[in-house]
């Protein structure tokens, strides 16, 4: 699974990135809102973990832009904020986020939340395929299905 | 949740309410990751404190709130409760009340340097400011 982490705090983004990698996900990191939008559009992650207060626009702007595009409006967005403010939480959910967590929440809880969201969107975490014969060629799409 | 006596015990222990037991548990199998985060925090802290100082000097309450908010994120990761409390006070600064935040920002600065000192010691790194430019940053707002 591909997870995009958008947070300008490098301690937080490094920690989340390490934990998501450990859980078997491919991780992309954005350090400001503009970069988050660009990476989301170019890489179409399976989940975006988004901080609200970032340089170059805030989290709600990121949600608005991604929800406005048919290419990116299906990307689940989990907002992780330092404030935990109820009004902020309501605003983010109304804007289209699928979940909201305060940064004080334990990492274990966050990891469970990420797994649940990926599962809900039909993107369950599967073990990485092992190919004992090596990387011969990319897997070809099945023919005659459509 | 920690009891009041546990909180005050931790405050007396390292002056900032930092529970090293929780850190040890959180990073039990990842000491390298913790050390890496502490190094990132070492680089990040002077920049964050400079932002707070500049916002205060310019009377820019919006920038002051934003700088405090950014600072809180790292402190939450390390479970530095006292720094988080002070950061929240600055983050809640009412419009036009930045002058009243001067003392809180000074306490926050002292608390943050102490946090860094404790963390570096915990992961076996040299104390901040022992050598190099960090020493001139200490007590910036005090």
**ipTM of the predicted structure?**
0.78
Query: What are the beta bridge partners of residue A100?
Result: A79
Quote the pLDDT of residue A137. Answer: 39
Q: Which two tokens stand for residue A59?
A: 């989290």
Cut 0.80: pTM above it? no
Nearest Cα residue in chain A from B44: A10
What are the pLDDT digits (tens) for B78-129? Answer: 888 889 899 999 988 888 888 888 999 999 999 999 999 999 999 988 776 6
Residue B95 contacts residue B118 (beta carbons within 8 Å): no
Taking the Cβ of residue A15 and every Cβ of chain B, the question of whether any pair is shorter than 8 Å is answered with yes
Paired strand residues for A99: A78
Whether A10 sits inside 8 A of B40 (CB atoms) is: yes
B33 touches chain A (CB under 8 A): yes
What's the pLDDT at B10?
Answer: 53
Residue A88, chain B, CB below 8 Å: the answer is no
Higher pLDDT, A4 or B26: A4
Closest to B90 (Cα-Cα) out of B119, B70, B76, B110: B70
Q: In this structure, what token pair is assigned to residue A2?
A: 């591909």
Q: CA-CA distances (angstroms) from residue A8 to A5, A12, B65, B79?
A: 10, 8, 15, 19
Q: How many Å apart are CA B74 and CA A109, to the nearest integer? A: 18
Q: With contact defined as beta carbons under 8 Å apart, do B30 and B120 qualify?
A: no
Choose among A9, A18, A107: nearest Cβ to B73.
A9
pLDDT lower than 70: segments of chain A: 84, 121-146
Q: Give the span between the Cα atoms of B19 and B78, in whole angstroms.
A: 9
């Amino acid at each position: 699974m591909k997870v995009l982490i958008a947070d300008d705090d490098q301690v937080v983004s490094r920690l989340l990135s390490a934990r998501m990698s450990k859980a078997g996900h491919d991780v992309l990191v954005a350090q400001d809102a503009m970069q988050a939008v660009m990476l989301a559009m170019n890489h179409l992650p399976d989940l975006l973990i988004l901080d609200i207060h970032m340089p170059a626009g805030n989290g709600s702007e990121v949600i608005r832009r991604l929800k406005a595009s048919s290419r990116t409006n299906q990307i689940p967005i989990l907002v992780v904020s330092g404030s935990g403010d109820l009004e902020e939480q309501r605003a983010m959910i109304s804007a289209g986020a699928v979940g909201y967590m305060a940064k004080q929440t334990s990492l274990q809880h966050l990891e469970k939340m990420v797994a649940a969201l990926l599962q809900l969107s039909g993107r369950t975490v599967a073990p990485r395929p092992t190919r004992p014969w090596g990387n011969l060629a990319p897997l070809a799409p099945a023919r005659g299905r459509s | 949740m920690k009891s009041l006596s546990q909180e005050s015990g931790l405050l007396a222990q390292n002056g900032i309410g930092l529970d090293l037991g929780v850190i040890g548990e959180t990073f039990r199998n990842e000491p390298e990751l913790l050390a890496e985060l502490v190094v990132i925090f070492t680089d990040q802290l002077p920049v964050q404190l400079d932002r707070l100082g500049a916002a205060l000097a310019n009377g820019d309450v919006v920038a002051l709130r934003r700088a405090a908010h950014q600072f809180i994120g790292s402190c939450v990761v390390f479970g530095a409760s006292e720094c988080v409390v002070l950061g929240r006070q600055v983050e809640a600064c009412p419009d036009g009340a930045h002058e009243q935040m001067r003392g809180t920002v000074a306490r926050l600065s002292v608390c943050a340097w102490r946090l860094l000192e404790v963390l570096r010691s915990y992961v076996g790194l040299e104390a901040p400011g022992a050598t190099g430019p960090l020493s001139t940053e200490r007590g910036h707002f005090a």
